Chain A
């Protein structure tokens, strides 16, 4: 018997898992023969096994349920709400009893007499005296696959411990790889580049596979929701449809466990507080049936869950009162607060707005706890709501907690890691960036797109010193939005997260630690904990639509996001610089001396790689980005093109890799923006040597693209020029009219509104700037218009991506001007 018991338990557990999906369908359509057959089979198997291993209690319940299901299956009985309810109850009881057996090794005490009696009476065709209200199952398609049975045959059972061990090994491998890469960078040797790159690619693949073994469909976290909602609709007297979508989206089982309770809690909330009673709904002209919708979508390394209801929406009036009552806002602030600000208040402790606490959701667990739980998994939660129409929550969580991309930042002598999920944007302030830090009373704030962002000086909070803090990490989460000031941003690294010891976690500012590629331990900052150091500074926020207008007015750059060199992290390049994307058959790649070349449109083009010397694939195809300027064309080998996204780029120009311009947050991920000019001209072009230091002077850059403004400003700044930038011709001309003196102007040609030609004509037509050297910044495609440009008044043309030539031209134009003066 002892041998049989564990086997019985694991088999039953597996069957229960399968049946969990079937039950959802059973509720929806109790007459579905196939579903019935599956549930019948489970109950039958349980009953059969019980006889062997003497589990009398389980056997009695299973027997009664089997009899009822048998009659349903054979068509002797028609399914009704009572039968559905009692069948679910029986399966639940089986689940509870087997669970107890698993824990204690024996059947728990208990009496199932009433349940068995009800089952028996139903089997005899009698009705129950207290009829259950009609079942309101879910209308959504949960998409349980019908061939679950055949899939089971192709899979094997592996213990979770073994998977954990595998994961640990892979984590260590990742660490070792990072160490090797670091070592190679330090020595500058290229001998091992090729094997290292292959190793790196393999490890990434292995990591991916092992990660996938831990992945489970998110439906595992919401299998119980239809039943919860069903029960709620009975208890609350509301008609509720639960729509579930994206149940096959997978995430780490650890995350699955963590997300379960918050989800259930929020669904309860939605049913209880969100949806109105049927009569109220009808009175408002809504359908009496309320809908709760839960969707899951995978986006890159994270999952977005959206939970929405079509209920009454948040009571903003009540939130205002509550905020004043609890001293979170002054009456004036509350009156002026936007709906978004008010909505965010529901994540604060003690802010439940339900008029009375009900048994359903008033369990002392508020949205503050939900938020805390989600933030503990490095996730974020946001809410928006429109009165009378409903409320929508968006939850973003990473796919896994085991390995996480993080941004390594420095302040004073210390380095810290910040989870990338938490960072919405990187902004450079002061002389290098154009964003200025202002003081709102004692609190430093950053004006960002018309909004004031409170800042936290990391060096002050952690008492590490650090005076030159001009990088801002913009942190965006549920309740808070703030910036963290740091000195340096190093790079991104995939970190294997290890928990911190108790005395350190008690400090409230560290969420974990990890070992870096160089072997040193780094502390991972808990941004939620840090937010508490902000103090309660009331931050003025502009009206929502004003902010949107600001966002819309901002030019965006189309960026091509790709992966290369077997590296897991994404890189990007402005799409404007890419001539085209080629998919090359491996046998078209030829060797020429030390290089690899490919014949593309009548000319031989050299294939290059981000880091190592290029090695062609053994078979298949090679994807490459082709960059062409007037005299050079190269094809950059990439592993894959991930996406093309419109991103507002705040480029952070710190990187020790010369092929990388800096990093920027694209689509929520810190992404390395590569320096095309370096690849084209310096590393492979043979023309080397750092640009000559400039002689000083004031330079004006006119370009609508924030990316190029961001790229060129620090470049010229470093070369010794005093740089001002303008985003439009009008902005530039207003500088002229204000009497701002410059020594040289660089202007883009293609701009919305007045373009570069108009600008040149306006400059030459009169005013203070008539005699200034005027250089046209052009994209490769605009070379043809050169004559027109010169005619309009430009002195020279230079392509934006050729940084070396640009610096040389600025330099020579300056000297010519000096001589002329």
Chain B
């Protein structure tokens, strides 16, 4: 059984292993980094630490968040570096049984499939569990969407 932090990207519910999440903060001032991949929103100051902000919507080929959404930043640590995943909202921590996990269907959008580890069946619908390591895999840097 694993625990996931659930969050929203548009109408899609996604989850990240709770063990990898270090912090959830409001999205602060982000300094754009020229030449970086489009899904890298920039760098931001999180209480004296520099966090690289990832625009998950762009990463997954979604349109920018509509007006009125106050994005949240989920801070995770990957390979010693801190990243902030920008999402529309953060909901709760849920317990997931291995039995509820399904392989990602072949019909899932390629960009989603690259970063998802499984689909979780929940009462309210489906949830995509993201593998944060895959969001920032080195070989992806050079083939930025």
What residues of chain A have their CB less than 8 Å away from a CB belonging to chain B? 172, 175, 414, 462-464, 498, 500-504, 506-507, 509-510, 513-515, 519-523
Contacts and interface: CB of A to CB of B under 8 A. Distances in A.
A504 B36 contact: yes
Contacts of B83: 501
Interface of B: 29, 31-37, 40, 42-45, 48-50, 52, 79, 81-83, 136, 138, 141-142
A521 B44 contact: yes
B23 to A, nearest CB: 16
A523 B31 CA distance: 8
Contact of B34 (A172, A464, A501, A519): A464
Given A501-B52, A501-B82, A502-B136, A509 B45 contact: no
A502 B44 CA distance: 15
Contacts of A506: 138, 141-142
A466 to B, nearest CB: 11
B81 A521 contact: no
B108 to A, nearest CB: 24
A13 to B, nearest CB: 28
B25 to A, nearest CB: 14
A645 B53 CA distance: 45
B52 A503 contact: yes
B38 to A, nearest CB: 12
B52 A504 contact: yes
A503 B141 contact: yes
15 contacts: A414-B32, A498-B49, A498-B50, A501-B52, A501-B81, A504-B33, A504-B36, A506-B142, A507-B33, A519-B45, A520-B29, A520-B31, A521-B42, A522-B31, A523-B33
Given A502-B136, A515-B50, A521-B43, 13 more contacts: A414-B34, A462-B34, A500-B43, A501-B82, A502-B81, A502-B141, A503-B40, A509-B35, A510-B33, A515-B48, A521-B44, A521-B45, A523-B33
Contacts of A414: 31-32, 34
A500 B40 CA distance: 13
Nearest to A416: B34
B47 to A, nearest CB: 10
A523 B138 contact: no
Nearest to B52: A501
A522 B45 CA distance: 10
Contacts of B42: 521
B50 A513 contact: yes
Contacts of B141: 502-503, 506
Contacts of A521: 31, 42-45, 50
B36 A507 contact: yes
- Leading 10 A-B pairs by shortest Cβ distance: A462-B34, A501-B81, A501-B52, A521-B43, A521-B31, A503-B141, A498-B50, A515-B45, A507-B35, A506-B141
A713 B101 CA distance: 73
B70 to A, nearest CB: 20
Given A414-B32, A414-B34, A513 B43 contact: yes
Name which of B29, B32, B36, B138 has the most chain A CB atoms within 10 A of its CB: B36
A523 B29 contact: no
B48 A520 contact: no
Name which of A172, A463, A510 has the most chain B CB atoms within 10 A of its CB: A510
B31 to A, nearest CB: 5
Given A515-B50, A519-B29, A502 B45 contact: no
A503 B142 CA distance: 9
Contacts of A498: 49-50
Contacts of A463: 34-35
Contacts of A522: 31
A462 B32 CA distance: 11
A197 B18 CA distance: 45
B45 A520 contact: yes
Nearest to A172: B48
Contacts of B36: 503-504, 507
A761 B142 CA distance: 70
Nearest to A171: B48
Name which of A462, A500, A519, A523 has the most chain B CB atoms within 10 A of its CB: A523
Name which of B29, B50, B79 has the most chain A CB atoms within 10 A of its CB: B50
A820 to B, nearest CB: 56
A520 B45 CA distance: 6
Contact of B138 (A462, A502, A509): A502
A403 B138 CA distance: 29
A243 B53 CA distance: 52
Contacts of A509: 35
A509 B36 CA distance: 10
Contacts of B136: 502-503
Contacts of B44: 521
Name which of A504, A509, A522 has the most chain B CB atoms within 10 A of its CB: A504
B96 to A, nearest CB: 29
B26 to A, nearest CB: 14
Given A414-B34, A509-B35, A523 B52 contact: no
Contacts of B82: 501
A563 B42 CA distance: 36
Contact of B35 (A172, A462, A500): A462
A172 B48 CA distance: 7
A172 B49 CA distance: 10
A510 B42 CA distance: 13
Nearest to A175: B48
A65 B37 CA distance: 61
Contacts of B49: 498
Contacts of A519: 29, 45
Nearest to A507: B35
A280 B52 CA distance: 59
A500 B35 CA distance: 14
A520 B79 CA distance: 24
Contacts of B138: 502-503, 506
Nearest to B79: A502
Contacts of B37: 503
Contacts of B142: 506
Contacts of B35: 462-463, 507, 509
Contacts of B31: 414, 520-523
A495 to B, nearest CB: 12
A504 B40 contact: yes
A500 B37 CA distance: 15
Nearest to B29: A520
Contacts of A507: 33, 35-36
Contacts of A464: 34
Contacts of B34: 414, 462-464
A509 B37 CA distance: 14
B56 to A, nearest CB: 14
Name which of B48, B138, B141 has the most chain A CB atoms within 10 A of its CB: B48
Contacts of A501: 52, 81-83
B42 to A, nearest CB: 8
